Amino acid sequence: MMNTGASTAATGDGELRTIRGLVAQHRLAALGVAAVIAVVLATFLVPLFASRAGPVTDATSCTQWGSANQNQQAVYARLYLREHGSLPDGATSPASVILAINNGCAQAYGDDVSDTTSVEQAISGHF
């Protein structure tokens, strides 16, 4: 039987040690190493999957709006104009909708209500 140095090590008396044997002998240390590996993996994987924002809707909060990419914001701006018509000031361009949301959300951030203020409320200024 041929063994590689990565998976086994010879002891002084000629007995071969396997990784399975080392883990069995040092259960607490093996659990600690497994826990550290799990925390490191979670540190990298959770933000990777959690950062994907869904589509922007009227109920999207200002905090979520800030995480939406430019394409998602532009899609919502066109949807807003199609469903609600022009802005309260009469503007009808998607860029005006985005600007109105950004301005309203900036005010909501200043008032510390950005988590509870929707983009629709940011446009109207009623929050």
Which among 77, 70, 78 is positioned nearest to 123, based on CA atoms?
A: 77
89 and 36 together in one domain: no
User: For residues 115 and 63, is the Cβ–Cβ distance under 8 A?
Assistant: yes
pLDDT tens digit sequence for 29-76: 989 999 999 999 888 887 766 655 578 999 999 999 999 999 999 999
Q: Which helix (H) or strand (E) holds 8?
A: strand 8-10
Binned at pLDDT 50, 70 and 90, residue 7 comes out as: low
**Angstrom distance (rounded) from CA 21 to CA 6:** 14
Q: What is the pTM of this model?
A: 0.59
pLDDT tens digit sequence for 102-126: 999 999 999 999 899 999 999 999 8
78 and 119 together in one domain: yes
Tell me which residue range forms the domain holding 45: 8-50
108 and 82 together in one domain: yes
